[in-house]
Amino acid sequence: MKNKHRSRTASVVLVVAALAVLPAGCGDSSQSLLGDFYVTEIASAQTEAKHVMDEALADSDAVARVNAAEVVGTTGRVDFMPKVQRLLHDQTPPVRFAACLAVGDLQYAPAKMVLGPLLKDEDANVIVAASYAMGRLGSTEYYQVIRKAADSKDQTVRANAVFLLGKIGDQRELNLLKSVQEDNYSTDKVRFQCLEARARLGDEEVLKRLWALAFSAYADDRAIAIRAIGALGTARAKEILGTKLDDTVLEVQLVAAEQLGRLGDKTGEAEVLAVFEKNLTSGIEKEAGERVNVLTALAIGQIRTAALTKYLPQLLKNESKYVRIAAAKAVFQCNMR
């Protein structure tokens, strides 16, 4: 996307939609995606996806390790958790944060003893993530640490705390989330995260604000709103998501298609299929092409039609590690149901 389409806000949290966080510089996005490619060329999509994940969890690039931990947590792949557990000792705070989330999301009890030192980590973001994991493992008193962090002067800590309150799933947190959202000290990134957290908790009052945000002049803001609308998941939310398949920016279309797929609606298939059939990554900047391929893989993982999943083996062999990780996530999701 051109700069005029980018968001006026900073990244919302350390680890939210991690697979969309891409560094500059990637593989040749102009290469055609239409060539013949068969699963047998890489033995099997499952085998290749496991190989991609093994590499990512041990990658020297912290972003890759974050993304890989996120994949494990969201796809329920307990078989990778021993490697994720080792990331609790990682030198990079966002990696420790992501590993804590995976432990909590999968309620991985073997890691509980390792969480102790992280409850006093030098990074406050890691402390709230470790508290989330402890709460998910039964020590719910640690949720109070997250509630207190929602009032932190550090806006990233505050945003992460709000994000985790949404993940906990307790509607009793709605009053706190509304208070943080209305706090004059809260920045836009915190307020946006409050909206998504409230949507996760089923608060339909946020839909009007999210609807307006979904038509922002900034593409990144529209994508944020679309993910939050998807989290709400009501019939009206699905109607709004359908209108965003016609967005002027391809990346926003793909996010809308992904969210519709997550809600069991496959009407975004055509927009995703067009990436391949019309070779839409040809001629665009490398970084933008990489983002498109990542979002395409994520959408395939939610829509899961045969017309789309046949392209996953190809994406698993993409030159970009971030595309490969997203494709591995999609492969795992296709086997979840």
Q: How many of the other CB atoms lie within 10 Å of CB of 30?
A: 12
CB 256 within 8 A of CB 245: yes
Residue whose C-alpha is closest to residue 106's, from 139, 141, 69: 69
DSSP H/E element including 91: none
Closest CA to 210 of 226, 186, 194: 226
pLDDT of residue 18: 45
pLDDT at 9: 35
Residue 287 lies in a domain: yes
- The answer to whether position 218 is within a domain reads yes
Q: What is the pLDDT of residues 254-307, one digit of tens each?
A: 999 999 999 999 999 999 999 999 999 998 999 999 999 999 999 999 999 999
pLDDT tens-digit map of 206-265: 999 999 999 999 999 999 999 999 999 999 999 999 999 999 999 999 999 999 999 999
Nearest 5°: phi and psi at 24? Answer: -70, 150
> How many structural domains compose the chain?
1
What length is written for the chain?
A: 337
Locus of tokens 């979840």: 336
CB 318 within 8 A of CB 27: yes
Whether 6 maps to a domain, the answer reads no
The DSSP call for residue 7 is -
Question: Does residue 3 sit in helix, strand or coil?
Answer: helix
pLDDT at 12: 33
Higher pLDDT among residues 30 and 57, named by residue: 57
Query: What is the SS3 assignment for 110?
Result: helix
What is the structure's pLDDT at 335?
A: 86
Global confidence as pTM:
0.88
pLDDT of residue 19: 54
Whole-angstrom Cα distance, residue 248 to residue 257? 14
Report how far apart, in Å, the C-alpha atoms of 105 and of each of 81, 95, 277 are: 11, 15, 36
| Dihedral sign, Cα of residue 56, residue 60, residue 63, residue 65 | positive
Tell me, yes or no, whether 275 lies in a domain. yes
pLDDT at 13: 42
Rounded-to-integer distance, Cα 126 and Cα 147, Å = 14
pLDDT, position 283: 87
Please report whether residue 21 resides in a domain.
no
Q: How many percent of the chain have pLDDT more than 90?
A: 86
Mean pLDDT value across residues 137-155: 98
Q: Residue 123 falls within a domain, yes or no?
A: no
The type of residue at 333 is Q
What Å distances lie between residue 188 and 159, 166, 184, 332, CA to CA? 10, 17, 10, 34
- Asked, for residue 285, whether it belongs to a domain, the answer is yes
Residue for token pair 């102009």: 30
By residue range, what is the domain housing residue 336?
39-44+203-337
What's the confidence (pLDDT) of residue 214?
96
Provide the Cα torsion 200, 204, 205, 211; round to 10°. 90
8-to-19, 89, 190, 313 alpha-carbon distances in Å: 20, 34, 14, 36
Return the structure tokens found at 217: 């002049």
Name the phi and psi angles at 186, rounded to 5.
-70, 135
Longest dimension (CA), the chain: 57
Q: What is the CATH number of the domain that holds 281?
A: 1.25.10.10
Place of tokens 């392209």: 311
How does pLDDT run across 32-70, given as a tens digit for each residue?
332 333 434 444 899 999 999 999 999 999 999 999 999
Provide DSSP, 20-73: G---S--S-TTS-S-S---GGGGS-HHHHHHHHHHHHHT-S-HHHHHHHHHHHH
- The backbone torsions φ and ψ at residue 14, rounded to the nearest 5 degrees and listed phi first, read -60, -45
